[in-house]
Structure 1
Amino acid sequence: MQFLHISSSRERTMTMLHWTSIRSWIRGACTFTLKGCKIPCCFYGLVLTCTIMVGLFALSRELMTSKSETKKIVLIARALNYSSRSHPRDNVLENPKIILLYAKTRYQPVMDELSTLRGCPEVNCRMTTNQSYLQRSSAVMFAALFLKLKTPPQRYKDQVWILHNHESPRTSWVGKRSIWLQSWKNVFNWTIDYRNDSDIPAPYGVLQARNHTIDKDYSAIFKRKKGTIAWMVSNCKTESKRMDYVKELKKYVQVDVYGACGNHKCPRSDGPACFEMLSAKYKFYLSFENAFCKDYVTEKFFLYYGLNFILITRGGADYTKHAENNTYINAMDFKSAEQLAVFIKQLANNETKYTAYLKRKDKYKPVYEEYIRKKDDVIVWRSHRLEAQAMCEACKRLWDVDKYRKQYDDITAWFDKGICYATPIM
């Protein structure tokens, strides 16, 4: 490394200066001794002077070596930091596989420089949203919801093109984005999606068994709760017609609706505090999806699973693949909203059965990632996903790309054919 070479030259120069100084000092000492002393005195004076000089020289060498080693350590640390920061120039220590987010999601940050992967910063891959890296990128990723180009960009040799999706293919945007154009149908090699059958699944979250039990006063938690059901929602018109279902449910049981679709308010920017309040006050919380689609279980389930209430789900996924029975309530297990209300009221009035749900639920912890957006250092928006592991898997595949070669002849045939379901009758 150039810096280390300069350091070695400087060390040799300083060594020569030290020897020059020492020789001058010895000559001066001996001259003084010969003029002022008898020969034995001069001899012992010379020996003493030389001994001192040798000791000082050894000490100076040790100090110089120590400084040199310190410089080496600082240099290596800077190189590692530079590599992690990854300036747009070539990396100092490596030649990474670059993953370009050509059309990114709303929650993914802007990355003008090369950035390490969130879930595995040590791997030899980097991410960026800077399209000037297109030619050098090993993978180019396009978020389906935000892809609005009539024709694909230029494609370079051996690139892997990935369709990234985190939303249900609802009719509100189906057919209105690039992937439904003929020019885009056969360009993709891999998919990253919340669906289990995607090439690289990226669910909104997962539940993991805890290594230890949680110590809570479940009886006190139950007795503090004065409300029955809470729901925070801002999208009032959805294909799942969840507002209609809640309107019917409210005929039989208390449901307090927070946000843009209800009469109760709690600032979205203050999300954690809001849900701590809801968790303390209410016994149940609605986790209703905006569409009935295969494997579509969003952050509404994973984000609130760990709080001190019981989730009531409603969606098109098989929730038994995600959570243990009797840790949540699935509205789809009941023939009507009225039957669901009857069950909720029975459970709400039985401390033993209600707290049994909480105890079983607390055997698991939800795992997800939080992405935030700030304005003037104030959080105005939060999003929760679990895609760090998926990006690590993409990196692993890029280093063994021949093993995973694939191409979709018609991406729309995979993306939206038979994936979503008609809204069930209440």
Structure 2
Amino acid sequence: MPGSSPTWRLRTPGVLAVAALLVALWLLRLLGADPSKSLTPRPPLTILIWHWPFSDRPPELPRNTCASFGVDGCLLSTDRELLGHADVVVFHHRELQSRRAHLPLDLRPQGQPWVWASMESPSHTHGLGRLHGIFNWVLSYQRNADIFVPYGRLEPHTGPAPPLPPKSGLAAWVISNFQEQQRRAQLFRQLKKHLRVDVFGRAVRRPLCSDCLLPTVARYLFYLAFENSQHRDYITEKFWRNSLAAGVVPVVLGPPRATYEAFVPPDAFVHVDDFSSASELAAFLSSMNQSCYRRYFAWRERLRVRLVGDWRERFCAICTRYPHLPRGQVYHDLEGWFQA
């Protein structure tokens, strides 16, 4: 009909627009269903470890190293020839402190992130003053670190709790470096007047092999998880491995109770700050009955200890955090930050 032609011509652009939109949505759905058909796989992040911690002979680092820790797309290497191409370079502080390793400042590619790594406490960390304005990120046990790596953690567990090891002793302590000025040494001197403590380690010429330590301390009700210095978040393997993983109640000397409670239930340990004196602490430990003692292990019904002591796993954590790390950040006062 002659009168209908203008209406058809007006509606045609709208029909075409709707059809184009539907086709576009269909294509987007296809691409979303199988991104590999249109996206090139991202190459793995290369993490260069400038000097392996505490060793001149780094471990073998096959391409699946990080995958074995549940981290994909991450390649660890100690090949310094990769300096110009690595996505991130890590420097462990102990080797910088002892000058076994030196910073390749003259060869540093522009914009390359550098990570300062240390699991030591501020009391045993020196030479930070000469490292200002160099590092972009920090790997540390401190919770506010860019790459936070604790010595251990509790993770969900299903199934029956493992049985507690049989006990034949009251309290144990393993100590390799006994220094009278440390608070742990002073507390031990006071505590042993009121409590039987069996002491092992190089400091008393009773060293324990690596495979002997846990079976030895597991025979005791309590373990003195005394840190060598007291600092923010500084909770080491003395608590995680020598105590909790061994099936022993830790008696802790370290950061405040609230810090421990950020990691474990409040009834999983005994804190020395809860007592007014060493004699009061000793009386509490020596008079504890079996029912009360077993309540310290209630967490084992639903949680288990996950130790994080392998430097390979710690370095792989950089890749996990990498997408969330602040670009352009520089620690102009690394010493001030670490010792705060």
Q: Please, what TM-score do these two structures have when normalized by structure 1?
A: 0.62
Alignment RMSD, CA only? Answer: 2.8
Q: Which has the higher helix share?
A: 1
Instruction: After superposing the two structures, state which structure 1 stretch, 153-162 or 291-300, moved more.
Output: 153-162
Q: Residue 344 of structure 1 aligns with which residue?
A: 285
1:327 and 2:276 are equivalent in the alignment? no
Rounded to whole Å, the distance in 2 between the matches of 1:397 and 1:326 is 31
Q: Residue 136 of structure 2 aligns with which residue?
A: 189
Rounded to whole Å, the distance in 2 between the matches of 1:113 and 1:188 is 24
Q: Residue 52 of structure 1 aligns with which residue?
A: none
Rounded to whole Å, the distance in 1 between the matches of 2:299 and 2:319 is 36
Rounded to whole Å, the distance in 1 between the matches of 2:290 and 2:70 is 46
Q: Residue 319 of structure 2 aligns with which residue?
A: 395
Q: Residue 305 of structure 1 aligns with which residue?
A: 244
Matched AA of 2:91: F
Q: Residue 353 of structure 1 aligns with which residue?
A: 292
Rounded to whole Å, the distance in 2 between the matches of 1:207 and 1:131 is 36
- Superimposed CA distance per residue, residues 295-322 of structure 1 (whole angstroms, 9 cap, x where no aligned partner): 0000111113032321111102521111
Matches within 5 A, 1:130-279: 130-147=79-96, 148=99, 152-153=104-105, 154-170=107-123, 172-174=124-126, 177=127, 179-181=128-130, 184-214=131-161, 216=163, 225-237=167-179, 240-262=182-204, 265-268=206-209, 271-279=210-218
Matched AA of 1:162: V
Rounded to whole Å, the distance in 2 between the matches of 1:156 and 1:201 is 26
Matches within 5 A, 1:28-177: 95-106=43-54, 110=58, 115-118=63-66, 119-120=68-69, 123-147=72-96, 148=99, 152-153=104-105, 154-170=107-123, 172-174=124-126, 177=127
Cα distance change of structure 1 residues 405 and 117 upon mapping to structure 2, 3 Å threshold:
farther
Residue segments in structure 2 that go unaligned for 5+ positions in a row: 1-40
Secondary structure at the aligned position of 2:199 is classed as: strand
Measured after TM superposition, the shift of residue 412 of structure 1 is 1.8
Asked whether the 8 Å contact 2:147–2:321 carries over to 1, the reply is: no
Measured after TM superposition, the shift of residue 401 of structure 1 is 7.8
Asked whether the 8 Å contact 1:368–1:386 carries over to 2, the reply is: no
Rounded to whole Å, the distance in 2 between the matches of 1:113 and 1:332 is 43
Q: Residue 22 of structure 1 aligns with which residue?
A: none
Secondary structure at the aligned position of 1:261 is classed as: helix
Q: Please, what TM-score do these two structures have when normalized by structure 2?
A: 0.76
Secondary structure at the aligned position of 2:238 is classed as: helix
Asked whether the 8 Å contact 1:139–1:162 carries over to 2, the reply is: yes
Rounded to whole Å, the distance in 2 between the matches of 1:159 and 1:258 is 46
Asked whether the 8 Å contact 1:97–1:125 carries over to 2, the reply is: yes
Q: Residue 316 of structure 1 aligns with which residue?
A: 255
Rounded to whole Å, the distance in 2 between the matches of 1:320 and 1:402 is 27
Measured after TM superposition, the shift of residue 266 of structure 1 is 4.7
1:411 and 2:334 are equivalent in the alignment? yes
Asked whether the 8 Å contact 2:240–2:305 carries over to 1, the reply is: yes
Asked whether the 8 Å contact 1:306–1:366 carries over to 2, the reply is: yes
Higher CA-based Rg = 1
Matched AA of 1:204: Y
Give the length in aligned residue pairs.
292
Cα distance change of structure 1 residues 238 and 165 upon mapping to structure 2, 3 Å threshold:
farther
- Superimposed CA distance per residue, residues 126-148 of structure 1 (whole angstroms, 9 cap, x where no aligned partner): 11122122111111111122212
Q: Residue 33 of structure 2 aligns with which residue?
A: none
Instruction: After superposing the two structures, state which structure 1 stretch, 286-295 or 224-233, moved more.
Output: 224-233
- Superimposed CA distance per residue, residues 183-228 of structure 1 (whole angstroms, 9 cap, x where no aligned partner): x310111111100011110111101232223263x6xx6xx53321
Measured after TM superposition, the shift of residue 342 of structure 1 is 0.9
Secondary structure at the aligned position of 1:283 is classed as: strand
Secondary structure at the aligned position of 2:50 is classed as: strand
Percentage identity across paired residues of the two chains: 25
Q: Residue 295 of structure 1 aligns with which residue?
A: 233
Measured after TM superposition, the shift of residue 405 of structure 1 is 3.6
